Structure 1
Amino acid sequence: MTKALAVLLKLAENLLSDPENPKFREFKSTNTTIQRALIDPKGAIEFAIEMGFRATVQEFQPKYVWHSSPENLTALRVGREVLKEHIELAASKEERAGLSQRLAKTEKSAAVQNALLAFEDDRKRRKALDERLKRDGYPTTPSKVPTAVIPPASPEFSIQGEGQTLGAPSARRGFVHEDEDRATTEY
């Protein structure tokens, strides 16, 4: 589509620079460049028609001819400005996309470089460790230290806690028949 915009802009600028030149006032629709740039892309030939070009046949040749009139001249100027703005916008968009791709590529190469450096550091560290182990020998596992022998528990139990005594019934919360429980423990 950018090719179509460039061809349309060239047609408009040529006509505005010399509107009476018959070479700039018409183009053949059978021309391969015109066909690829204006006829095949959607909307390109319609834009040329809006700028004042009309389809005609001269000597059995299909052509588009620009007819000079104040309305067509105004349409041609407006069309040229629209095309310039659109081409500039497309160029800046393409530039931003290219910059974004370059940044992504740079970040990717930096990540690859960091991974390679980390790999190289790991290889150097492992090599140094292997050399040290060969030189000093492998470390031996420490022998088990005998633990203190704990005598079996005495028959007297020592329970640490709050010091509550067993035997007296304690009030249990949430029981519906608490009185019946006391009656059975009193026997």
Structure 2
Amino acid sequence: MATSYRTPNRDEVMQAIERRLEGIRLERPRGALYVDFDEDHPRRRHFRRLIDPGIIRSNSTEVTLKALQTMKTLAENILRSPDEVKFHRIKPTNAKILELLINPPGVVEYIREMGFNPEVDEVEWQPYYVFHMKRLDDLKMGLAIINETIERESPKQEREERALEEAKAAEAKAKQKIMLKFQDDRLSVRARATRERRGGVADDIPRLPPKSKKSPAVVKTLADLRRDSKALDDGESSGEHEPA
């Protein structure tokens, strides 16, 4: 006898799928099929806001990067040598710390979020910012945000420095051009004054009348003189006299 097959309806198919999915969930550990919500995201966002606008908008790019580099060094020292107590304390009265971390707006707030708390040494009565190892996760997260900010802001500083150098070069070129024009003007004035002075002296000198042209001198020989004398004597002897 032939075997008959019944086509399952929609509800039966959906139930079979749900049973299969439930079996997979039980077989695999939690988290294998989906990723839990990133619990650190709000914390990272808080660190980013402490830097921008907190630090970046209140300081120049140069000051911002110096502060970030200093905090980066502090955090890396602790992570590299967690047992070195000297790396766990920041002395706020130190001149360099004052310049790089205390005076720039927003920086103190950031180092406190990384785990450095203000305390007073009971022996020295000296204020410090002291890091506690229980805040190690905050230190690591703060360092990660610092690194990404340095990577983003460093090209900006390079552009600003290049623009500043170009502006200085343009200013120096403009000053040189003005100086050369000033020197050319002085030389032109001096040359004109010299010409005018020489022209005035020439006008003051009395001018001599032009020399008249003289007839060329006639040179007579002794024979010429004798002929002239004989001619004169012949004239007198012939009676050529003017009437009285």
> Given the two structures, how large is their TM-score scaled by the length of structure 1?
0.54
| Partner in structure 2 of residue 6 of structure 1 | 66
**Residue 154 of structure 2 is aligned with which of 69, 72, 84?**
84
**1:138-177 matches, cutoff 5 A:** none
Tell me if structure 2 keeps the 8 A contact 1:19–1:25: no
- In the superposition, relative to structure 1, how do residues 126 and 88 fare at CA in structure 2: closer, same or farther (>3 Å)? same
What secondary structure is seen at the aligned counterpart in 2 of 1:30?
Answer: coil
Cα distance per residue 1:37-61 (max 9 Å; x no partner)? 33223344456567x3633326353
The answer to whether the aligner puts 1:112 opposite 2:175 as a matched pair is no
Deviation at 1:12, TM superposition (A): 2.1
What secondary structure is seen at the aligned counterpart in 2 of 1:79?
Answer: helix
Deviation at 1:77, TM superposition (A): 0.9
What secondary structure is seen at the aligned counterpart in 1 of 2:147?
Answer: helix
**Residue 100 of structure 1 is aligned with which of 157, 170, 175?**
170
**Residue 97 of structure 2 is aligned with which of 30, 34, 46?**
34
Cα distance per residue 1:62-106 (max 9 Å; x no partner)? 216495434223212113224423432332232123213212221
Deviation at 1:115, TM superposition (A): 1.7
Tell me if structure 2 keeps the 8 A contact 1:16–1:77: no
Instruction: Give the number of aligned pairs.
Output: 136
Deviation at 1:113, TM superposition (A): 1.2
Tell me if structure 2 keeps the 8 A contact 1:56–1:63: yes
| Pairwise CA RMSD | 3.4
Distance in 1 (CA, whole Å) between partners of 2:119 and 2:173 is 53
| Partner in structure 1 of residue 117 of structure 2 | 55
Q: Which has the larger radius of gyration?
A: 2
What secondary structure is seen at the aligned counterpart in 1 of 2:179?
Answer: helix
Distance in 2 (CA, whole Å) between partners of 1:114 and 1:47 is 59
More helix by share: 2
- In the superposition, relative to structure 1, how do residues 118 and 18 fare at CA in structure 2: closer, same or farther (>3 Å)? farther
Unaligned runs of 5+ in 1: 138-187
Unaligned runs of 5+ in 2: 1-59, 208-244
Tell me if structure 2 keeps the 8 A contact 1:55–1:64: yes
> Given the two structures, how large is their TM-score scaled by the length of structure 2?
0.44
